[in-house]
Structure 1
Amino acid sequence: MTKTELFLEYLTTDGYRPSLDEDNDISFKHERINYILFPNEKDETFFRLMIPFFWELETPEETERAMKVMMKLNADYKAAKFYVMQNDVCVAAEAFYAKPEDVKTLLGRYIDLLASAMREFRQLMRDEAPPAAPLAQA
């Protein structure tokens, strides 16, 4: 059984509805959050799980704020790594494992970790957002 098949089996058994893309990456949803699992068949004891493109960066000021928040959270979270791809913020966790059966425990833990990290990022960005400009009076 390939790693991809193993991950698909674990996710399906746990009640997810995973789908495979043309690159053999696995997509699934949990609590309305989109995840991508990169099995990496070339490295038999490694995988990466990501929540992609969950916060669009629209201005240089917002990008600067996001970088500060990402640096804080990268230091605070043990395994979550925030970064920017195509003007969008992503968060991922990468893991090595000893035995294939370890993956099942790691996946559940990382799914929860990434959701928590993403929520904290969103909250910090909202908390640090500059006040809206007052409406012009006629």
Structure 2
Amino acid sequence: MNDAFGKRVRRLRLDRDWSQQELSLRSGISTPHISSIERGKRFPSLEYAKRIADALGVALVALCDDASELRSPKMRGSAEELPLYLQNFVLNEEATPYLEVAHQMSQLPKEDADLLSLVIGLLVKRRYETPVLTP
């Protein structure tokens, strides 16, 4: 790993107007450690690299591979900006599998993500339009 990892972390963090403290809170990694990583003075463990990527909302490869496109996904500033029903959903432990799938979908090329969204929409529509027969 080279110092490009830290530069990419810094770029994405600044794209979101986050301080190092904000990234620290979102990733669970100390602010001094984040600072050292961004300056290329320390290299993160695989676990820390994954936590940083997850906090920034990007695939780990986007931080590690200079050849990969580094695009900053649109993210809200905080969970409080979400409607109350979504805040409750995000905080519910049973929502974790859905949130993990949503994160995976966010890493797909736009065309693939659009297709999956369309299929999910059709399945939901079908579910609510088809009467459920009870024995």
TM exceeding 0.5? no
Give the TM-score normalised by the residue count of structure 2.
0.29
Give the TM-score normalised by the residue count of structure 1.
0.28
**Structure with the higher helix share, 1 or 2:** 2
**Structure with the higher strand share, 1 or 2:** 1
